[in-house]
A and B are shown apart, each in its own frame.
Chain A
């Protein structure tokens, strides 16, 4: 029972990271109906930027107060990764707007290859380790050696990840629901032509969607870096595929669906690794996706597409 409890906590932490990346996929899909294959690599870029900022602050400038360092890392990484997201959209997707559906998919795959290889060439192919920065935690249920139960622990890192994700989710939902930008996004999602007739700047709205997706991916990148302590140029692919799976599982185009899908994929993976074999955790996640889609072809929270004839 304690073991299950511990695995649930671990799963929620991992799921939060997937969920944050999945939001980027689902927002872009909702607004222009394309799979942004380069999004996983934008997450990787965010992780690398965070690592560089962190090292500059601690080793070159000599900052020692960790909360301040992390705050600066967060802000800088979000800003610079947003610039990457904006540029990718501007170079590879905007020229193809209004073209047929597979064209931006191919440029997205091309962009993903470009980003991976760019980072590999400029930063090297070796895995970069970072010593754990935030240690310690609280014990929820103390372990009992005689009764054979293990302690259930919630580390501060996990608390931060779940807390940040929750805050960002609330903030984002408010942004979409209440602000003019959110209204513009929802209108572009429904009908771009009509929205532009009514004075919504569609290009700008789409650009901002990519910027927001990239910013969230960079937050996920920072948390990945701090939680696992390693980055390399290839982390974007698997994280991207898992996050995309999460977005589809939750119903692509739906924000709460993306978060729910992310948490589910995280839980499935950790529970499977905890009780069965670690090697087949990806197979488990993908199989559950296939099974869910057989019975609910639009995902868990997605609305079924109504086809006009």
Chain B
């Protein structure tokens, strides 16, 4: 273990060797010992799985330590433990029975996913865009009772889409693994919050570009020390940077308010029209009935425009020399340098651009919530944003949209699982299973589709004819 990790030979030709090894992995394997796997073997397999579940669960399901007067006490829950073992046994058996001989179907599925329908991404994108434009009115028309709640969820999902697109510039395009993206989100949020509470005349629209600029500046500050670092060294320093920002926000009480956070952050206005009751408000000006939903619709359109702006700028940059340089940097840093690309400015602009969009999203977050505290900017947020980018398929803009809707929409759906309480009894609190299910979903989606949900992409440089390429062809996120 004394040497650092040696470069495996695959890295010499990332695309070719990686593609080969992945094909080898997905190739249909010859069935071990013929097609007929006996039921006895399956039962044995399931029994082993159940045994492992029993061992793992013993100290967590069967035994529970509780705080009692005079120290801790041990309580036992044998029924829960046995139930979990039985569930694992039955589940494992069902899976192996169900998927036995499913190799052919699997291969067919793999072949199906390799067929790339030209223009599908574009059409799907247009369709989603059209839906996003009319979304608030769609909800107001079809779900008039719960429209505010749905629009609020849409705002949240849109925020994550924007964050995902911002991080995608750093991770997906430039190939720099950033585990501290939430720091820029925090910088943006605190910039707006502190500016607006200290100076009365600064509203959302003045603070927004300032917050973006400050976040970009912090992106460059983070970028400088990590210029020479590669791969995982980069990952830990960005993670550390995110933690440093959070710890400083938490402890610099005089400036940031520490754990109390900043409250009474002003709401955005439409050319000076406030979304409130009374004189000079939006509803007064247009002669409408005042409704709190109006503010939600307005917020939705702000984040929608910001997100679309992020997307357009990213797509535009990809066609420009700087975007080409980012993608070249991701594929091979040495080749980049030998071709005369200045890797220092390339990396710094990637960090700054990504950070700027994070800052925009952060100041939107601050104005939406009206209150921010360091608790909103933990590592978990960075992890969720990174997961969205990777699960969506690195570098794929539409994939990030799908991943955000699935993951964030999924989390929000899990908040409304009250009906389960009727099934499992009153002591059952469904909301606490939210993050557990979220984590499991992350693992399962990744194991199911290691290249992300959308693994085909439009090439950025075209010679004669445009052809979609599979994501297998690019060595993404290699981080050097």
Taking Cβ atoms with an 8 Å cutoff, the residues of A that contact B are 26-27, 29-30, 33, 35, 48-49, 51-53, 55-56, 59-60, 80, 83-84, 87, 91-92, 95-96, 98-103, 105-107, 109-114, 116-124, 126, 128-131, 176, 185-186, 189-193, 237, 241, 244-245, 248, 251-256, 277, 279-280, 282-283, 286-287, 289-291, 293-294, 297-299, 302-309
CB pair B240–A95 under 8 Å, yes or no, is no
Q: Are B432 and A120 in contact (CB under 8 A)?
A: yes
Question: Which residues from A are CB-within-8-Å of B447?
Answer: 92, 95-96, 107
B12 touches A308 (CB 8 A): yes
Contact B243 A282 (CB under 8 A): yes
Q: In the complex, what residues of B have CB within 8 A of residue A291's CB?
A: 225
Contacts of A33 in B (CB 8 A): 5, 8
Q: Taking the complex as formed, is B339 at the interface, i.e. its CB lies under 8 A from any CB of chain A? A: no
Bound Cα distance from A49 to B65, whole angstroms: 10
Q: Could you say which residues of chain B place their CB within 8 Å of the CB of A96?
A: 446-447, 450
Give chain A residues whose Cβ lies under 8 Å from the Cβ of B187. Answer: none
* List of B residues within 8 angstroms of A98 by Cβ: 21-22, 24-25
B298, CB-defined interface residue at 8 Å: no
The verdict on B359 contacting chain A, using a C-beta distance below 8 Å, is: no
Collect the chain A residues with CB atoms within 8 Å of residue B122's CB.
none
Q: Are B443 and A189 in contact, with the CB atoms below 8 A?
A: no
A123 to B58, CA, bound (A): 12
Q: Is B371 an interface residue (CB 8 A)?
A: no
Q: When A53-B59, A192-B8, A290-B240 are in contact, do A30 and B1 touch as well, CB less than 8 Å?
A: yes
Encoded as 1 (CB less than 8 Å from any A CB) or 0, chain B from 43 to 76 comes to 0000000001001101111011111000111100
Bits for B431-470, please: 1 = Cβ < 8 Å to A, else 0: 0110110111111001100110000000000000000000
Residues of A within 8 A of B171 (CB): 102
Partner of A99, one of B5, B11, B22: B22
Would you give 21 A-B contacts (Cβ < 8 Å), ordered by A? A49-B59, A52-B74, A55-B65, A80-B59, A91-B443, A99-B25, A100-B18, A102-B171, A110-B443, A112-B439, A113-B380, A113-B383, A117-B435, A122-B64, A189-B5, A241-B239, A244-B236, A248-B233, A252-B4, A254-B4, A255-B2
Q: How far is the CB of B330 from chain A (nearest CB, A)?
A: 12
A289 CA / B226 CA spacing, docked (Å) = 11
- Structural contact, A101 and B61, CB atoms closer than 8 A: no
Which residues of B306-320 are within 8 A (CB) of A? none
Is the pair A29, B239 in contact by a Cβ cutoff of 8 Å? no
Contact A237 B379 (CB under 8 A): yes
Query: In the bound complex, do residue B4 and residue A302 qualify as a contact, i.e. CB atoms below 8 Å apart?
Result: yes
Q: Which of A53, A106, A117 is close to B446, meaning CB atoms less than 8 Å apart?
A: A106
Q: What residues of B have a CB within 8 angstroms of the CB of A294 in the complex?
A: 225, 228
Residues from chain B with a CB closer than 8 A to the CB of A280 are 247-248, 251
Q: CB of B416 within 8 A of chain A? A: no
Q: Is the CB of B1 within 8 A of A26?
A: yes
Residues of B in contact with A, size category:
35 or more
Asked whether B154 is an interface residue with its Cβ less than 8 Å from the other chain, the reply is: no
Contact in complex: A107, B442 (CB < 8 Å): yes
> Which of B126-134, B192-200, B387-395 lies at the interface?
B387-395
* Given A48-B59, A305-B7, A309-B334, A99 contacting B450 (CB threshold 8 A): yes
**Given A121-B436, A191-B6, A307-B334, A290 and B477 contact (CB-CB distance below 8 Å):** no
Q: How far is the CB of A143 from chain B (nearest CB, A)?
A: 32
The residue on B at minimum CB distance from A110 is B442
CA distance A130 to B72 in the complex (A): 7
User: Hey, which bits of chain B sit against chain A, CB under 8 A?
Assistant: 1-9, 11-12, 18, 21-22, 24-25, 52, 55-56, 58-61, 63-67, 71-74, 171, 177, 225-226, 228-233, 235-237, 239-241, 243-244, 247-248, 250-251, 334, 379-380, 383, 386-387, 390-391, 394, 432-433, 435-436, 438-443, 446-447, 450-451, 475-479
Contact check, B55 vs A80: say whether CB atoms are below 8 A apart. yes
Query: Complex formed: what's the CA distance from A65 to B247 in Å?
Result: 43
Taking a contact as CB atoms under 8 Å apart, the answer to whether B443 and A92 are in contact is yes
Contacting residues, chain A, for B18 (C-beta < 8 A): 100
Q: Are A283 and B5 in contact (CB under 8 A)?
A: no
B contact residues around A114 at 8 Å (CB): 436, 439-440, 443
A128 near B72 (CB under 8 angstroms)?
A: yes
Bound Cα distance from A105 to B479, whole angstroms: 13
Min distance, Cβ A191 to any Cβ of chain B, angstroms: 7
B6-A190 in contact (CB<8A): yes
A309 to B21, CA, bound (A): 20
The chain B residue sitting closest to A56, CB to CB, is: B74
Flag if A282 contacts B247 (CB, 8 Å).
yes
Contact of A245 among B236, B248, B386 (CB under 8 A): B236
**Inter-chain pairs besides A59-B73, A109-B442, 13 sampled, C-beta below 8 Å:** A49-B59, A60-B74, A80-B58, A83-B55, A99-B22, A105-B177, A107-B442, A110-B443, A254-B4, A290-B237, A297-B228, A297-B229, A297-B230
| A172 to B2 Cα, complex, angstroms | 12
Query: How far does the alpha carbon of A230 sit from the alpha carbon of B12 in the complex, in Å?
Result: 49
* Interfacial chain B residues near A103, Cβ < 8 Å: 390, 446, 450-451
In the complex, what's the smallest C-beta–C-beta distance from A49 to chain B, in angstroms? 5
Given contacts A35-B232, A252-B232, A302-B4, A121 and B433 within 8 Å (CB-CB)? yes
Q: Residues of A contacting B451 with CB < 8 Å? A: 99-100, 103
Per the bound structure, the CA–CA distance linking A100 and B390 in Å amounts to: 11
When the two chains form the complex, which single residue of A26, A84, A101, A286 contacts B479, counting CB atoms closer than 8 Å? A101
User: How far is it, in angstroms, between the C-alpha of A122 and the C-alpha of B52 when the chains are bound?
Assistant: 17
**B102 → chain A closest CB, angstroms:** 16
A80 to B62, CA, bound (A): 14
Q: Decide if B394 touches A293 in the complex (CB within 8 Å).
A: no
- In angstroms, Cα B353 to Cα A73, docked, is 52
Nearest B residue to A297, CB-CB: B228
Shortest distance from the beta carbon of B2 to any chain A beta carbon, whole Å: 6
Which residues of A sit under 8 angstroms from B436, Cβ to Cβ? 113-114, 117-118, 121
The one of A287, A297, A302, A309 in contact with B244, judged by C-beta atoms closer than 8 angstroms, is A287
Q: Which residues of A contact B379 (CB under 8 A)?
A: 237, 241
Contacts of B6 in A (CB 8 A): 189-191
Residue of A nearest to B1 (CB): A255
Closest to B245 in A: A283
Given contacts A59-B74, A248-B232, contact A111 B3 (CB under 8 A): no
Residue of A nearest to B224 (CB): A294
**Nearest CB in chain A: distance from B223 CB, A:** 12
CA gap between A276 and B446 in the complex, in Å: 44
